[in-house]
Structure 1
Amino acid sequence: MSDRGTRTFRQIDAEPYSFPFDGHWSSADTALLLLGFQQGTISALSATPAFATALDLLSVALDCGLFVAVSRRVARRDGDDVVPAEGFGGLDFPPQLILPDTALVVDHSGDNAFYRTPLETELKARGIRNLLIAGLPTDGLVHATQRTANDMGFECLAVADACQGTSETRHAAQLRITTFGNGLFGTVASAAAVKAALIKI
């Protein structure tokens, strides 16, 4: 792309194919999607290492001009969701998660950040077609959101070590499912591989 200030990147070394599939991505058409990094979830999953990796990736992504979208799981007003009501500390973002004014924050219930939220509309309005996905848990919010994004036409990459499951076995199994059928639901890479492509190591 030729827009002033747009940065292009080389493909990411990922499984089962290099991301993105067509080999073309830039700061203008790619977003970092952070899912469910809330204090209660991080604590419950002992996910501090995954959160730290996501923070590092966020810093690099912002330096490279990527758009950032963040999901926050909240309770439904009808009370059907088991998540505590908004205002409880467990729902808050950790103080280390410092977002730019340009970041999009969407509130949702359940395990899908697209369901009954403006996320798809906002991403497509900005010309986003590629998503780098990090979040908690892998075997819930991350996988459900990635599958939906794939169905909506987004090219998706799950950042393996910036995600964590409800168990290591479930985390690994969910990432393996993501790669079924030569990447039926997208592709998977490490944060190091993503950063290497972004900063051209």
Structure 2
Amino acid sequence: MAERDMKNFAAIAANPYSWPFDGVWSARDTALLLLGFQNGNIAALSAERELEAAMELLEGAKKAGLTVVAARRGADPSESAMAARRRLLGDHVPARHSAEWALSDRLELPGDAILVDHGGDSAFFRTGLEDELRQRGVRNLLVTGLPTEGIVHATQRAANDMGFECLAVADACKGTSPLRHSAQLRITTFGNGLFGTVAATAGVLAALTTFQE
């Protein structure tokens, strides 16, 4: 696996530019983010198809040796003011350790996966995730999750500001409505990739099995 980790994968034909911007990504510097694939979110958004896509990406990531991150958002008595505000405005934020809060048991995470618990939208806010990724040498992120206009965009936007090169996997994300989903992805690609790029699961999986010469 060590020799394979050193090889760069083929670039992905993403929108609005070929990802990553410098054409350099490998198993050792890339992570797959699985955001909000919790029982409550999946049921509320009827996101079975998106979960299936995330499962395919997870299997591909494990075979290729990528770092895997799974994030759960939940409410507890010590939640931040932001988390309380989001919940009171109507966001579905399950209580921590409840059945709705739990990640889908269909996601078979590797033993070295990074598990993040957060109260607000961004999986980076007060979680130590940035430091963990830096320590592992990660600089490229494949982003999936529920909902697109909440956890996905907030996390990707924060990651972009931190200097990570991001790609949102469109069919492995779902918004609270088709319009919000598509609008959020347009914001991501606005200004020649203001917050990163967008591609489909098939393109990512194909690239994970193709190495640059």
Q: Is the TM-score greater than 0.5?
A: yes
Secondary structure at the counterpart of residue 90 of structure 1: coil
Q: CA deviation at 1:8?
A: 1.8
Alignment of 1:122-141 (within 5 A): 122-141=132-151
Confirm or deny that 1:14 pairs with 2:24.
no
Residue 184 of structure 1: aligned partner: 194
Query: Which runs of 5 or more structure 1 residues have no equivalent in the other structure?
Result: none
Confirm or deny that 1:157 pairs with 2:167.
yes
Residue 109 of structure 1: aligned partner: 119
Alignment of 1:160-171 (within 5 A): 160-171=170-181
Residue 29 of structure 1: aligned partner: 29
| Equivalent residue letter for 1:58 | L
Q: Distance in 2 between matches of 1:132 and 1:118?
A: 18
Residue 96 of structure 1: aligned partner: 106
My pick for the range that moved more, 68-77 or 149-158, is: 68-77
Q: CA deviation at 1:87?
A: 2.1
Q: Distance in 1 between matches of 2:132 and 2:47?
A: 28
Q: CA deviation at 1:36?
A: 0.4
| Equivalent residue letter for 1:197 | A
Query: Which runs of 5 or more structure 2 residues have no equivalent in the other structure?
Result: 88-92
Residue 78 of structure 1: aligned partner: 78
Q: Distance in 2 between matches of 1:8 and 1:165?
A: 32
- Of residues 152, 162, 177, the one that matches 1:142 is 152
Secondary structure at the counterpart of residue 89 of structure 1: coil
Secondary structure at the counterpart of residue 28 of structure 1: helix
Secondary structure at the counterpart of residue 186 of structure 2: helix
Percent pairwise identity: 59
Q: Greater helix percent: which structure?
A: 2
Confirm or deny that 1:50 pairs with 2:60.
no
Is the contact between residue 50 and residue 171 of structure 2 (CA under 8 Å) also seen in structure 1? yes
Q: CA deviation at 1:110?
A: 1.4
Over the aligned positions, Cα root-mean-square deviation in angstroms equals 1.3
Q: CA deviation at 1:197?
A: 0.7
Q: Distance in 1 between matches of 2:177 and 2:103?
A: 22
Q: Distance in 2 between matches of 1:105 and 1:19?
A: 26
Counting matched residue pairs gives 199
1:138-178 Cα shifts (integer Å, max 9, x gaps): 00000010000000000000000000000000000000000
Confirm or deny that 1:39 pairs with 2:49.
no
Q: Distance in 1 between matches of 2:25 and 2:44?
A: 35
Secondary structure at the counterpart of residue 61 of structure 2: helix
Confirm or deny that 1:199 pairs with 2:195.
no
TM, length-normalised to structure 1: 0.95
| Equivalent residue letter for 1:97 | L
Q: CA deviation at 1:200?
A: 2.1
Q: CA deviation at 1:19?
A: 0.4
